[in-house]
Amino acid sequence: MMTKAIEPVRHAGSRGTAEIMAQGLGLFSIALGAAELLAPRKLARALDIEGQERLLQAYGLREIGTGIGLLMNDRRAPWMWARVAGDVLDLATLGAAMGSSRRREAVALAIGSVAMVTALDIACARALSQDSQHEERWYPDYSDRSGFMRPAEEMRGAAEFETPPEYRASLKTSEELPRTPNAANRTD
């Protein structure tokens, strides 16, 4: 009979995925920050918010700050929440620009993208915070709950059930014997 294998659980939580996501968002932060810092005029023109270049550069510095914070720290959750706060600021600024800008489509597109990133930041920040809470998780042992009267191994194939015709599958085993002769050409 086959051996049973269950991997011991090192930690409950999903540090891995949220961590990878946080690193990605950190890099994204730095790239976006650099663009705001180095090319504020271009950005301001695209959104028709000329005169706000200084503000954009300040936002750029903020982005780079949180980006570095995310990449350099082991405890990323607070930095992730800082990103969320920054997103809210960005959204407020873009919202205000919506009223005055002559390039509303560009502003609307920017709002849409920031909203998507915000949602991602929130999901990531939540996951990171949850992980630190649920490091130790108690769970009961259900290894005696088979649902069978006899050992599970003895129940294999015990149903004696014929698959209804409309649920027969296309996959026929070639290396092993089909259940009935000529099954490959079965038409029923």
Q: Which residues bind another protein (CB under 8 A)?
A: 2-7, 9-10, 12-14, 16-18, 20-21, 112, 115-117, 119-120, 122-124, 127, 130-131, 138-149, 152-153, 155-159, 161, 163-164, 167-173, 175-176, 178-179
Q: At what angle do helices 104-133 and 40-47 cross, to 10 degrees?
A: 120
Nearer to another protein (CB atom), residue 51 or residue 184: 184
Nearer to another protein (CB atom), residue 102 or residue 184: 184
Nearer to another protein (CB atom), residue 44 or residue 114: 114
CA distance 94 to 69: 25
HSE-CB for 91 with a 13 A CA cutoff: 14
Considering the complex, what minimum distance in angstroms separates the CB of residue 52 from another protein?
25
Considering the complex, what minimum distance in angstroms separates the CB of residue 102 from another protein?
26
Nearer to another protein (CB atom), residue 50 or residue 154: 154
CA distance 19 to 31: 19
Considering the complex, what minimum distance in angstroms separates the CB of residue 88 from another protein?
14
Q: 95 near 111, Cβ under 8 Å?
A: yes
Q: 13 near 131, Cβ under 8 Å?
A: yes
Considering the complex, what minimum distance in angstroms separates the CB of residue 22 from another protein?
10
Nearer to another protein (CB atom), residue 61 or residue 92: 92
Is the backbone of residue 153 left (phi > 0), alpha (psi -120 to 50) or beta? Answer: alpha
CA distance 59 to 45: 16
Considering the complex, what minimum distance in angstroms separates the CB of residue 172 from another protein?
8
Q: 67 near 30, Cβ under 8 Å?
A: yes
Considering the complex, what minimum distance in angstroms separates the CB of residue 5 from another protein?
5
Nearer to another protein (CB atom), residue 100 or residue 173: 173
